[in-house]
A and B are shown apart, each in its own frame.
Chain A
Amino acid sequence: DTAVSQTPKYLVTQMGNDKSIKCEQNLGHDTMYWYKQDSKKFLKIMFSYNNKELIINETVPNRFSPKSPDKAHLNLHINSLELGDSAVYFCASSPQQGVGSPLHFGNGTRLTVT
């Protein structure tokens, strides 16, 4: 009965490959996010979708493309993977966009690029 679920949990791939991470939430939330957490635990926002519309793109390289088929799903596709893309990627959702709305995180996808 997981609230925010993302797959896969681990992803090991070589430079130059293309990969996708999937995320689904069953909380009925309107807004979903992708955060990247580096080796120093710093969580940085990448994208936010509110009811299927992109509302934030925080200067992420265009090799990263989010796709939201409906408000319960937000996938992340990454082209031409680079070593620096290695990190843990967290999907999250919140009841609504904006102030005062706490985030509920998925379990994370640890991406390792070799």
Chain B
Amino acid sequence: QKEVEQNSGPLSVPEGAIASLNCTYSDRGSQSFFWYRQYSGKSPELIMFIYSNGDKEDGRFTAQLNKASQYVSLLIRDSQPSDSATYLCAVGTGRRALTFGSGTRLQVQP
């Protein structure tokens, strides 16, 4: 079992729709959760982080965390073609470096 799992996609949504990206993790002791966006040929950039159960909103982005289910998600409202990228989920556990999933490719259709 991979430590951090994501559906590779592509996830295709029409412009203006809500994109929902999901991530599960295996270590119940994990304490911090991050979403990075990576455009093709570019480096990952941090979008959101969440530490506590529940929702955290920042503009069009909402991160959701459910530690009991070991599940974290990212919602993108009013999706734009510029949101088309690979979204990487990363999990922090103890003093270890962040562990990344393999990413979900999102395509927003104009």
Contacts and interface: CB of A to CB of B under 8 A. Distances in A.
Interface stretch (B14-22, B39-47, B64-72): B39-47
A102 B49 contact: yes
A99 B38 contact: no
Contacts, number: 60
A27 interface: no
Contact of A41 (B43, B51, B86): B86
Contacts of B102: 40-42
B103 A41 contact: yes
Contact of B38 (A41, A44, A103, A106): A41
Contacts of B90: 103
Contacts of B96: 56, 98
A8 B95 CA distance: 30
Interface residues of A, number: 24
Interface residues of B, number: 26
Contacts of B49: 100, 102
A48 B99 CA distance: 13
Interface of chain A, helix or strand or loop or mixed?
loop
Nearest to B86: A41
A98 B86 contact: no
A99 B42 contact: no
Contacts of B103: 41-42
Contacts of B44: 43, 90, 103, 105
Given A33-B97, A41-B88, A108-B43, 11 more contacts: A41-B38, A41-B102, A45-B97, A45-B98, A97-B95, A99-B31, A99-B92, A100-B51, A102-B49, A103-B98, A104-B46
